[in-house]
Amino acid sequence: MAETALTNVGASPALLPGWRGIAADWSSDQRAFKNVSWGKAMMWIFLLSDTFIFSCFLLSYMTARMSTTVPWPNPSEVFALNIGGAHIPLILIAIMTFILISSSGTMAMAVNFGYRRDRIRTAALMLATAAFGATFVGMQAFEWTKLIMEGVRPWGNPWGAPQFGASFFMITGFHGTHVTIGVIFLIAIARKVWRGDFDVERRGFFTSRKGNYEIVEITGLYWHFVDLVWVFIFAFFYLW
């Protein structure tokens, strides 16, 4: 029966039916990740682990909010700004969300032009994405400064439940750190794309095979994940 196991010399083993096939696939990374590059597979594994961390943070936040007997601060009041004498709730958060979601569009276009090997447009769109991310972090720093000046601390706040400060700084700070790392990574890869490192196969960090712009897509996976996490933070923390 050897001829049924292999179609020819050096070919992959034939797929087994049922649970035996599933076990065989996942017991061999050569088959399970045959069409996935090592870098992309590792990024997906990292994002999966990061998903667990953010999920634990958000679940802890919801548990603290639902279990506290002290009134929880109203996000519409806490995160409001006075502009031209008008009290506008969540205006800063809405702008931050628009900027971060827009950055996903520029990142998607950068990946598209990367696979077309259009290095100028790819680098320009990656730098635009980094600019959006830096703007988001700057606005988040303004938000932190405003709340700290109003008396918010990790151990308390002037509006109610003391858990609010710890939840706010932990969740938004952890996400802001991810955005900052993403901005640095975007600038570094954009620089390599701009000077043609992937076209001449220049040696260095994150330099893949000649003509291969896959690192742009891997960077995009990380950036889209950061944007997606913010959607959940926005919904659970600012709208609830």
pLDDT at 26 > cutoff 50? yes
Q: What is the pLDDT of residue 15?
A: 63
Q: What is the pLDDT of residue 160?
A: 85
Q: What is the pLDDT of residue 98?
A: 96
pLDDT at 140 > cutoff 80? yes
Residue (of 144, 191, 194) closest to 169 by Cα position:
144
CB 95 within 8 A of CB 83: no
pLDDT at 4 > cutoff 60? no
Average pLDDT, the chain: 84
Cβ of 14: how many Cβ atoms within 10 Å? 11
Overall fold of domain 37-238: Four Helix Bundle (Hemerythrin (Met), subunit A) (1.20.120)
> How far apart are the C-alpha atoms of 7 and 47, rounded to whole Å?
37
First to last CA, the chain: 63
CB 137 within 8 A of CB 179: yes
Q: What is the pLDDT of residue 8?
A: 41
Q: Give the model confidence (pLDDT) of 39-68 as tens digits.
A: 888 899 999 999 999 999 999 999 998 988
pLDDT at 228 > cutoff 80? yes
Which residue would you say has higher pLDDT here, 209 or 86?
86
Q: What is the pLDDT of residue 3?
A: 41
pLDDT at 14 > cutoff 90? no
Alpha-carbon distance values, 157 to 18, 72, 176 (Å): 57, 10, 21
Q: Give the model confidence (pLDDT) of 163-197 as tens digits.
A: 899 999 999 999 999 999 999 999 999 998 888 87
